[in-house]
Amino acid sequence: MASTLCALLLLAALAGPICLRLRTSPAFITGRDGRLSTSIALALAWTVILVWLLLAILGYGLTAGGGVQYFSGSDGPLSTLTTVYLPLLGGPYVALIAAKTVVGLRVERGSLAKPAAPPTASGRRPLRELIANDSGRTDLVDLQYVTLSAVTMLYVVLFFLADVGAGLPRLPEGIWALTGAPAGAYLVNKMATRANPVITGASLSGDRLTVEGGGFTPDPAGRPPLVTVDDTPLEARPDPLTGALTATLPPTATPPLTVVVTSRGLRSDPYCYEGPTVPAQPTQAVTRHGRQTSL
């Protein structure tokens, strides 16, 4: 029981500061577009877990385990390190390196749009970005990659805490497929993703709608992308400086609006523009019969 508590305290000491740091400043696990990166986050999580396992086993061996003899023998506490745990860690890191390479090359060649993520009021990034595409919609491949990896991590942690003295949990050698196969699917998804236009924001000034995002490139004939608002196609004019699209709304169009951009025959995911944000009215204290009430 004491060894389990010590292992839990060590895990909290390792993961706690990292989580607090990422909560306030998540730049370490964000991609080039400013969104949370699924591959970076999972590779970091597996690194923390493996470091925790090794430190916990080292501490147990030097205290309750009896010293150097605890680590000797073919069936020692680290016997499955190279056959099970390094492959578990290798899959996410291969996906991380390969995905960064593939996305970088596609962005440079213009076959993929990676617009910058819109800023948030708190400066924090929503965790949903780990399982969503650039338009904010849930991506099935990312979802299964995160889910299977999280289940495997939980499996490793719980089995280790059940018997810290036994060293690394004796997992089936084929369990690496729970991270390797989803990592491979994640990489293939990055390679196969089409260069659809992506809408990251919209604003309305009078009757002029401005659509921000990426992948708004003209077709081979030089025609600009088409903006569709509530199934009504509108003529769009690209801004040469920002790349945003502007279109004039018909008089009958009022928020909320469903905006879609079609570029080179490819459609973006629908974007719902709810209208301008109304700031909250400050409360005022009014004195009534010697008492203050808030309005």
Supply the CATH number for residue 202's domain: 2.60.40
- Domain, as residue range, for 169: 2-192
Q: What is the domain count for the chain?
A: 2
Examine the pLDDT at 41 and tell me if it is beyond 70. yes
The verdict on residue 265 lying in a domain is yes
Provide the whole-model pTM.
0.71
> Can you tell me which residue has the tokens 């986050």?
41
Residues 142 and 17 in one domain: yes
* Domain assignment of residue 282, yes or no: no
Q: Which residue has the higher pLDDT, 276 or 255?
A: 255
What local confidence, expressed as pLDDT, does residue 47 receive? 92
In a domain, 278, yes or no: no
Same domain (yes/no): 108, 158: yes
Contacts of 213 (CB under 8 A, 6+ apart): 113, 115, 197, 198, 199, 200, 201, 244, 261, 268
204 shares a domain with 114: no
Q: Which residue has the higher pLDDT, 231 or 68?
A: 231
In a shared domain, residues 51 and 188: yes
Cis ω before 256 (30° cut-off from 0): yes
Task: Tell me the range of 118-127, 139-148, 200-209, 278-287 where mean pLDDT is highest.
Answer: 139-148
